[in-house]
Amino acid sequence: MANMSDIALSERTPLRALSWLLATPLALLLLIHPGAMLDSQGRYSHSLLMLVMWGVSNAFIHGVGFAPRHWLWRAIFSPWLGWGLCGLGYTLLYLARTACADSTPSGHPVHAYPARHSTHIWPPVP
């Protein structure tokens, strides 16, 4: 049995739990309610969401205790990279939620421009 000083920092149990705690809410959010990640124009940033999903994958891989042997796979699935990309995901979620602060109760953004075929804003503003 190795003592704690022999175990790499990222291999300790509390950090594996951190990986699970970072990855699980993001994974559930992306699977159950992906619309929460829409920006104020109602669009996704697919390239950034791909990085977030890579981070969630890294965090789950680390959380279950899998440690790749080859140096390349260790770099690609590094827990440090996963934590940073999960942080990116939470940042995108925060920005999406603050951008939709001016939205309807259902969470859909309110557009400040009228429809192309209409010159009137509906509903009329008192």
**Tokens read off for 73:** 């796979």
CB 38 within 8 A of CB 32: no
* Alpha carbons 54 and 76: distance in angstroms, whole number: 9
Residue 31: inside a domain, yes or no? yes
- Bridge partner residues of 109 (DSSP): 103
pLDDT for res 101: 62
> 125 lies in a domain?
no
Degrees, nearest 5: CA angle 82-88-93: 130
**What digits encode the pLDDT tens for the residues 84-106?**
999 999 999 998 888 766 555 55
The DSSP call for residue 111 is P
- Overall number of domains in the chain: 1
Question: pLDDT grade, residue 54 (50/70/90)?
Answer: very high
Write out the residue range of the structural domain in which residue 73 sits: 21-99
Whether residue 50 is contained in a domain is answered as: yes
Q: What is the pLDDT, as a whole number, of residue 41?
A: 77
- Asked whether residue 38 is domain-assigned, the answer is yes
Residue 64 lies in a domain: yes
In the predicted structure, residue 25 carries a pLDDT above the cut 50: yes
